[in-house]
Amino acid sequence: MLIRIQEEPIDYGDLIEKMRNESAGAIVSFLGTVRNTSVNLKVSGLEYSSYREMALKMMGEIAEEALEKYGITDYAIVHRLGKLGLKEDSVAVCVASPHRKEGFRACEFIIDSIKEKVPIWKKDIVEGGEEKWRD
């Protein structure tokens, strides 16, 4: 079980390896990456900030709910902060599960809940340098 907020790039391969266990028949993952458009804007990157202590607490609650609801055996959730360029990973969610269906559902539940509830904010860096906070 791993939950982390960091400024450094996400080591996706390491997270996958951490999920391997004898009771896991499936490892399901999601990577959120920075793309070049946002709400009809051309962007050159994003900047993330958070209320770190509350974000970690809420991410833990979400992960524990996924454990109970979907019967996963392990999870890793990592979110980046700071300025990120195009194609960089901003968030990774990995779950280990006895079966794929529950793994997919848990992974989707975790990322959707993070986006909806966790105090992590995103600012678009528009081509040309302008910055716009996302609602």
Which pTM was predicted?
0.91
Residue 135 lies in a domain: no
Q: Which amino acid is at 132?
A: K
The Cα 80–Cα 48 span in angstroms is 7
The Cα 59–Cα 77 span in angstroms is 8
pLDDT tens-digit map of 85-107:
999 999 999 999 999 999 999 99
The position carrying tokens 């524990």 is 64
Domain limits for position 106: 2-130
The Cα 42–Cα 96 span in angstroms is 36
Residue 122 lies in a domain: yes
pLDDT tens-digit map of 23-66:
999 999 999 999 998 878 899 999 999 999 999 999 999 999 99
Residue 93 lies in a domain: yes
CATH at residue 105? 3.90.1170.40
Structure tokens at 130: 């302008």
Write down the pLDDT at residue 95.
Answer: 97
Residue 36 lies in a domain: yes
Write down the pLDDT at residue 129.
Answer: 66
Residue 81 lies in a domain: yes
